[in-house]
Structure 1
Amino acid sequence: MKNVKLTIEYDGTNYHGWQAQSNAKTVQGTIEKAIHGLTGEKIAITGSSRTDQGVHAYGQVANFFTNSNIPPERFSYALNRMLPDDIVIKKSEEVSMDFHARYCSKGKKYRYLIYNNSFPSAIYRNRAYHISHRLDLEKMNRAIEFFKGTHDFSAFRATGSSSKTSVRTIFDVSLTSKEDLICFEVSGDGFLYNMVRIMVGTIVDVGMGRIEAEDIPDIIESLDRRRAGRTAPPQGLYLVEVYY
């Protein structure tokens, strides 16, 4: 038996999230179906992150155990011939038997795109969050600095999270813009349910003047979800990389 690690890119527009469901098309379910067609084995793959409906990934990581004699590095080529165009296996490789895509992760990096223009974009309608109000990037850049470090992020945690602790460490944050696209990137040792999307909703409120940048530390310390901004929509979110 071998343990195979997959690095996966996907457009989440047409899927009900990552996690396999009996009554809906998901990324995990689609890949498992392809593996079954390839090997004849009924395999459950383990993903590093359970991305929501509409969320995308450049570097989702998953692993599965197989008795197939297909060389691990060839799974990517074989699966890509069977998968739809909006899911691509970028790399497949054999890893140690104790590797677990979720529990071995030491951190993740996410990207969120905002399309800041008076009119929506046909091209980015499933790729970015449209904001018609002109955002103040200087204020937003001041705000994101307060996310760095180790904090209890209860105020940025959606209900339904099963995490035992809401303390997380943010390694780095950045905010850049090119023409009408604003790119927010954040890396940390882990993220709570909808944490990145709530961060984005909060800095958007800063950019619109609804929240002051200097209020972010108080919002974090309050541990009160009602103090933070709205939850930004899923289509602007991308899982960029998983650290091991």
Structure 2
Amino acid sequence: MSRVIRLLIAYDGGNYLGWQRQLQGRTIQGELEKRLTALCGQVITLHGAGRTDTGVHALGMVAHFRTATTIPLVAFFKGLNSMLPGDIRILAAEPAPSDFHSRFSALAKTYRYDFFTGAVMPPCQRQYRAHFPGPFDPHRLHSALQTITGTHDFSSFERAGSRDKNALSGRGAVRTLFAARCFPNLGQEECWSIRVTGDGFLRQMVRILAGTLITIGQEKTAANAMAGILAARDRTRAGLTAPACGLFLEQIAYSPRPFQP
């Protein structure tokens, strides 16, 4: 009889071509499936809650798999960590109901984007925050953050060509953001974070939102421009796609209770 195991995973995405397995190149899913297959003695398919891009990090990715092995649960925590490279870690492992799905059972995801606005980027931070040198006023983002909160068509913040826009099924580019804020990071004046929580995100949506918000904070885009950008449903109206290194998948929320690490 098979059982479903749910994993809470953290990783540094700098050395990987994103989450999703590929025919060539290292990926997070590929590295995990390789070790799980060896551990379980059967081919394991791991289902993640999302697909982070090349260079994106995670503090709380959730994934699940089905296995017939009866090895103790601790093997998927301590045992798996002993087999994995140091930039991927299992934070927790627990049994899940047979109908649980990491992606489809999720109620919300939280992403954080970190960036530095000082003139010279500290070398030890360059792989974990983006560099946007110049004055930055977080108060200019107040209206924009309020505008993107709620249910909207986020076509202007979707990577071009990432979705078949002629498809009749699904919800298209409509997503709901429950919260969006900008705040100082690490207690340093020139270190900032943008955090967004929503019921789902389009391809590169958070990075495009971050890039647009940062240009507003740096007075390169009008403070009241967000409503027009959102209404246009046109990728060319939004700002740049912020670099992948600053993006972290922080948390995925489930019901009726959160993951117990």
Question: For this structure pair, what is the TM-score category when the shorter chain's length is used for normalisation?
Answer: over 0.9
Write out aligned runs for 1:203-222 (5 A): 203-222=213-232
How far 1:36 moved relative to its partner?
A: 1.6
1:192 counterpart SS class:
coil
**Is 2:183 the partner of 1:176?**
yes
Structure 2 CA distance for partners of 1:68 and 1:124, relative to 1, 3 Å: same
Structure-1 residue corresponding to 2:258: none
For 2:79 and 2:143, the matched residues in 1 are separated by: 47
Structure-1 residue corresponding to 2:247: 237
Worse-matched range after superposition: 152-161 or 191-200: 152-161
Alignment gaps of 5+ in structure 2:
165-169, 255-261
Alpha-carbon RMSD across the aligned residues, in angstroms, is 1.2
Do the aligned residues in 1 keep the contact of 2:144 with 2:227 (CA within 8 Å)? no
Do the aligned residues in 1 keep the contact of 2:106 with 2:252 (CA within 8 Å)? yes
Structure 2 CA distance for partners of 1:4 and 1:12, relative to 1, 3 Å: same
How far 1:150 moved relative to its partner?
A: 0.7
Do the aligned residues in 2 keep the contact of 1:135 with 1:208 (CA within 8 Å)? yes
For 2:173 and 2:62, the matched residues in 1 are separated by: 23
For 1:39 and 1:137, the matched residues in 2 are separated by: 49
Alignment gaps of 5+ in structure 1:
none
1:83 partner letter: L
For 2:135 and 2:69, the matched residues in 1 are separated by: 55
Structure-2 residue corresponding to 1:227: 237
**Is 2:197 the partner of 1:187?**
yes
- Percent identity (aligned): 39
Structure-2 residue corresponding to 1:134: 135
How far 1:72 moved relative to its partner?
A: 2.9
Worse-matched range after superposition: 171-180 or 106-115: 171-180
Structure-1 residue corresponding to 2:174: 167
How far 1:100 moved relative to its partner?
A: 1.0
How far 1:17 moved relative to its partner?
A: 0.4
Do the aligned residues in 1 keep the contact of 2:21 with 2:29 (CA within 8 Å)? yes
Write out aligned runs for 1:145-156 (5 A): 145-156=146-157
Write out aligned runs for 1:32-181 (5 A): 32-162=33-163, 164=170, 165-177=172-184, 178-179=187-188, 180-181=190-191
Deviations 1:6-65 (A, max 9, x none): 010000001110001121100000011111221221111000110001000000010001
1:168 counterpart SS class:
strand
Structure-2 residue corresponding to 1:26: 27
Deviations 1:183-220 (A, max 9, x none): 11000111111110000010111022121121111111
Structure-1 residue corresponding to 2:11: 10
For 1:220 and 1:42, the matched residues in 2 are separated by: 44
Do the aligned residues in 1 keep the contact of 2:160 with 2:235 (CA within 8 Å)? no
Do the aligned residues in 2 keep the contact of 1:52 with 1:234 (CA within 8 Å)? yes
* Count of matched residue positions in the alignment of Structure 1 and Structure 2: 244
For 1:133 and 1:80, the matched residues in 2 are separated by: 41
Q: Give TM-score scaled by structure 2 length.
A: 0.90
For 2:211 and 2:145, the matched residues in 1 are separated by: 12
